[in-house]
Chain A
Amino acid sequence: MRIVVCMKQTFDTEAKIALTADGLIDSTGVTLVVDPYSEFAVEKGIQFKEKFGGEVVIVCIGDTQAETAIRQCMAMGADRAVIVTDPAMDGSDQSATARVLAKAVISQEPDIILGGFKSVDSGSAQVMLRLAEILNLPHVNVVTNIEIGEGKAIATRELDDGVELVEVSLPAIFTAQQGLAEPRYPSVKGIMQAKKKELKRLTLADLDIDPTSVGPANAKVKIHGLTLPAPRKGGRIIGGEIPEATADLVKALRDEAKVI
Chain B
Amino acid sequence: MNATRQIYWNIQGHIAIYPLFLVAIVIFAYGFYLKYRLWHVGQPVDRNDRKGARAKSLIGFVLGHTRILRRRQPGIMHFLIFWGMVCLFLGTIVVALQSDVGLQIMHGPFYLYFMSLILNIAGLAVLLGLLIALYRRYIKPAEGLDNQPDDAVILILLLVIILTGFLTQGLRIAATHDPWAAWSPVGNLFARLFAGLGAATQSEVHRALWWSHLFLALGLIAYLPYSKLIHIGTAPLNIYFRSLEPNGALTRLDLEDEDLETFGAAKLTDLTWKDLMDTDACVRCGRCQNNCPAYLTGKPLSPKALIQDLKLQVHQQGKLILAARKTAAHPTTGEHETAAGSELDAGLDEQNLVGTVLSEDALWSCTTCRACMEQCPVFVEHVPKTIEMRRNQVLMESDFPAELNGAFKGMENNGNPWGLGWAKRAEWADDLGVKVVATDGAPEYLYWVGCAGSFDNRNRKVSAAMVQIMRAAGIDFAILGTEEKCCGDSARRLGNEYLYQSLAEANIETLNGYGIKKIITQCPHCFNTLKNEYPQFGGNFEVIHHSAFIAQLIAAGRLPLQAKLNGTITYHDSCYLGRYNAIYQPPRQVIEALGLKLIEMPRSQRESFCCGAGGGRMWLEENLGERINMQRTEEALSTNASCIGTACPFCLTMLEDGTKRKDVAENIKTLDLAELVQQAIQSAQ
Contacts and interface: CB of A to CB of B under 8 A. Distances in A.
B498 A191 contact: yes
Nearest to B402: A182
Contacts of A15: 421, 423
Contacts of B255: 188
Interface residues of A, number: 17
Given A12-B413, A185-B405, A188-B396, 18 more contacts: A12-B414, A15-B421, A16-B424, A31-B422, A182-B402, A182-B405, A183-B405, A185-B404, A185-B408, A186-B398, A187-B396, A187-B397, A187-B398, A188-B263, A188-B497, A188-B498, A190-B398, A191-B498
A188 B408 CA distance: 13
A82 to B, nearest CB: 25
A184 interface: yes
Contacts of B497: 188
A125 interface: no
26 contacts: A14-B414, A14-B421, A14-B422, A15-B421, A15-B423, A16-B421, A16-B424, A29-B423, A31-B413, A31-B422, A182-B402, A183-B405, A185-B398, A185-B400, A185-B405, A185-B408, A186-B398, A187-B395, A187-B396, A187-B397, A187-B398, A188-B255, A188-B396, A188-B498, A189-B395, A191-B498
A14 B406 CA distance: 13
Contacts of B665: none
Nearest to B415: A31
A88 interface: no
Interface string B391-423: 000111110101011001100011000011111
Contacts of B395: 187-189
- Give 4 nearest A-B pairs by CB, closest first: A14-B421, A16-B423, A187-B398, A188-B395
Contact of A184 (B398, B414, B420, B498): B398
Given A14-B419, A15-B421, A31 B398 contact: no
Given A12-B413, A12-B414, A182-B402, A187 B421 contact: no
Interface in A143-197: 182-191
B264 to A, nearest CB: 10
Nearest to A187: B398
A33 B413 contact: yes
Contacts of A31: 413-414, 422
Interface in A14-56: 14-16, 29, 31, 33
Nearest to A188: B395
Nearest to B255: A188
Interface in B462-511: 497-498
Interface in A49-102: none
B398 A14 contact: no
Interface of A: 12, 14-16, 29, 31, 33, 182-191
Nearest to B423: A16
A132 B623 CA distance: 45
Nearest to B264: A188
Contacts of B394: 185, 187
Nearest to B419: A14
A16 B404 CA distance: 24
B313 to A, nearest CB: 24
Contacts of B424: 16
Interface in B415-452: 419-424
Contacts of A185: 394, 398, 400, 404-405, 408-409
A12 B421 contact: yes
Nearest to A77: B398
Most chain A CB within a 10 A radius of its CB, from B255, B419, B423: B423
B455 to A, nearest CB: 11
B154 to A, nearest CB: 46
A80 B366 CA distance: 39
Interface in B348-404: 394-398, 400, 402, 404
- Residue in A31, A184, A187 with the greatest tally of chain B CB atoms within 10 Å: A187
Contacts of A29: 423
Contacts of A182: 402, 405
A14 B396 contact: no
Interface in B224-253: none
A183 B530 CA distance: 32
Contacts of A189: 395-396
Contacts of A183: 405
Contacts of A190: 398
A14 B413 contact: yes
Contacts of B397: 187
A220 B421 CA distance: 33
Contacts of B413: 12, 14, 31, 33
B498 A14 contact: no
Contacts of A33: 413
Nearest to A14: B421
A189 B262 CA distance: 8
A226 to B, nearest CB: 18
A133 to B, nearest CB: 34
Nearest to B421: A14
A185 B412 CA distance: 11
A154 to B, nearest CB: 27
Contacts of A16: 421, 423-424
Contacts of B263: 188
Contacts of B419: 14
Contacts of B414: 12, 14, 31
B413 to A, nearest CB: 5
Contacts of B396: 187-189
Nearest to A190: B398
A187 B391 CA distance: 10
Contacts of A187: 394-398
Contacts of B402: 182
A27 to B, nearest CB: 12
Nearest to A76: B398
Nearest to A75: B398
Nearest to B497: A188
